[in-house]
Amino acid sequence: MIKIIFSLLFSICLSNSYGQTIYQKDFDYYLKTIQGNYAYFDQQKTNWEKVKPIYQPQVDTCTSRNSFIQILEKILNELYNGHNFLNTNTDESNRLIPSGSDLKVVFKDDIFVIDEVREGFNSDLCGLKKGMQIISFNSISIKEGIKQFLPLSTSNYDNAIFEYAANMLLAGTHNEKRVITARLNEVTKDYFPDNVPNKTEKSYESVLDWKKLKNNVGYIKINNSLGDDALIKEFDIALDTLFNTDGLILDLRETPGGGTSTIARAIMGRFVDKELPYQKHLYIAEERETGIKRTTLEFVSPRQNVYRKRLIVLAGNWTGSMSEGIAIGFDAMQRATIAGTKMAGLLGEIFTFETPELKIPFSFPCVKLQTVKGLPREDFLPPVLAQQQSESVENAIKILSKKKTTNR
């Protein structure tokens, strides 16, 4: 009997030891991989050396894959940018920003104010508006609620950190409906964006929409499909159909999920008649390891029939990652006027890694991206700024109708 009990206890201890070992291996790999490859430590307030001792006690008591995923998600808050994420999630996981968000807030004068609402999505449909002050989220004050997303490796918080935390909070989790309390003109009201299914978790029916607008202006809207190879063929069909228009609007305001440079170059290639550079890459990990700086320019090459009429590219907060690259590319090539609001500001070019034991994939920026002239992509502002996204299409038509000339 004693022998059986001893064997059982030994088995349990061995099981616990094994569990702790796989979590520890993945934890160490995760931290080391980010430390060696992350491209933006020099621009952020993160103290990565503090991250391991802060989160180690949670790893020591971790007992499941889901709880370990939650730890890794919390660690990414130390980097406070939407371009750091796990390629998996649990029901309790927060939605990613900007792809899983439907409003954007900014921090000014010690309050959080809605700066942009995603047109046609839940927050828009329930009545939330630009200019409203956020008071609370799910009955917890906004300043208290954001604490779960604030980095722990630094206490030197700035607006970028506060805004990251607030926008993560307001995106909500996959398994809980949101109640957002907001104030406008001294009137405070509760809003219930998720009384209908959350639209950010649905896919578009088509990779793009297109039509001809008034004044012989063409319009193509990309439906968050810059990672779908089918977009190239559909884009060619749309552009060829609109080829005889006097100007074109390319709407990138609904592309938060990013995509591939192949598809981006395919789109831009229809608008240039010679090879041109569109963005700059800075390889920070290589420079960190060797002390030798490496920078490259990426080019767009002409493809098929070139559309030579005027082009307006619409951008905004849900223009993210690769679509931000398209916007700065068209601007660099002087081939389009970029109009709209500030883009998502997602940092750099992401690479994806996988933990060795639990096979949890995670992505973060390993290469800095800049305009051809050296401006960080995240700092680029559309030369034609709009106050609200709803104005963008009408303003673009007016710009195109004023002067019908050709570009490159």
3-state secondary structure of 353: strand
Q: Which of 48, 70, 57 is nearest to 20 (CA)?
A: 57
- Cα-Cα-Cα-Cα dihedral sign, residues 403, 271, 83, 157: negative
Report which of residues 389 and 240 the model is more confident about: 240
Per-residue b or e along 325-360, where b marks 16 or more CB atoms closer than 10 Å to that residue's CB: bbbbbbbbbebbbbbbbbbbbbbbbbeebebebeeb
Fold match flag (103-197 vs 203-343+380-402): no
Cβ atoms of 285 and 365 closer than 8 Å: no
Neighbouring C-beta atoms of residue 17, cutoff 10 Å: 9
Per-domain residue ranges of the chain: 2-66, 103-197, 203-343+380-402
Q: How confident is the model at residue 41 (pLDDT cuts 50, 70, 90)?
A: very high
Ranking 12-16, 156-160, 328-332, 393-397 by mean pLDDT, the lowest is: 12-16
What are the angstrom distances between the C-alpha of 246 and each of 214, 307, 370, 401? 10, 10, 32, 8
φ and ψ at 177, to 5 degrees? -75, 150
Q: Which of 217, 210, 221 is nearest to 247 (CA)?
A: 217
With a pLDDT cut of 90, the percent of the chain lying above it is 89
What are the angstrom distances between the C-alpha of 73 and each of 70, 76, 85, 322, 362? 5, 5, 7, 23, 10
The pLDDT score that the predictor gives to residue 397 is: 86
Instruction: Round to whole Å and give the CA distance between 212 and 248.
Output: 9
DSSP assignment of 283-306 equals -HHHHHHHS---EEEEEE---SSP
**Sole residue written with tokens 């849900």:** 318
Instruction: Round to whole Å and give the CA distance between 314 and 158.
Output: 29
Q: Which fold has domain 103-197?
A: Pdz3 Domain (2.30.42)
Q: For residue range 55-66, list pLDDT tens digits in order.
A: 999 999 999 999
Neighbouring C-beta atoms of residue 392, cutoff 10 Å: 24
The pLDDT score that the predictor gives to residue 385 is: 86
Select, from the ranges 15-24, 243-252, 391-400, the one with the highest average predicted confidence (pLDDT): 243-252
- Backbone conformation region of residue 357, classed left if phi is above 0, alpha if psi is from -120 to 50, else beta: alpha
The pLDDT score that the predictor gives to residue 3 is: 45
For residue 396, is pLDDT > 60?
yes
| Structure tokens given for 295 | 């920078």
The pLDDT score that the predictor gives to residue 390 is: 66
Between strands 384-385 and 337-340, the pairing is parallel
Alpha carbon 75 to its chain centroid, in Å, reads 17
For residue 386, is pLDDT > 50?
yes
Average pLDDT over residues 235-241: 98
3-state secondary structure of 105: strand
Average pLDDT over residues 129-155: 98
Q: How confident is the model at residue 401 (pLDDT cuts 50, 70, 90)?
A: confident
Instruction: Round to whole Å and give the CA distance between 230 and 70.
Output: 34
The pLDDT score that the predictor gives to residue 308 is: 97
The end-to-end CA distance of the chain, in Å, is 87
Q: Model pTM?
A: 0.91
State the architecture of 203-343+380-402 in CATH terms: Alpha-Beta Complex (3.90)
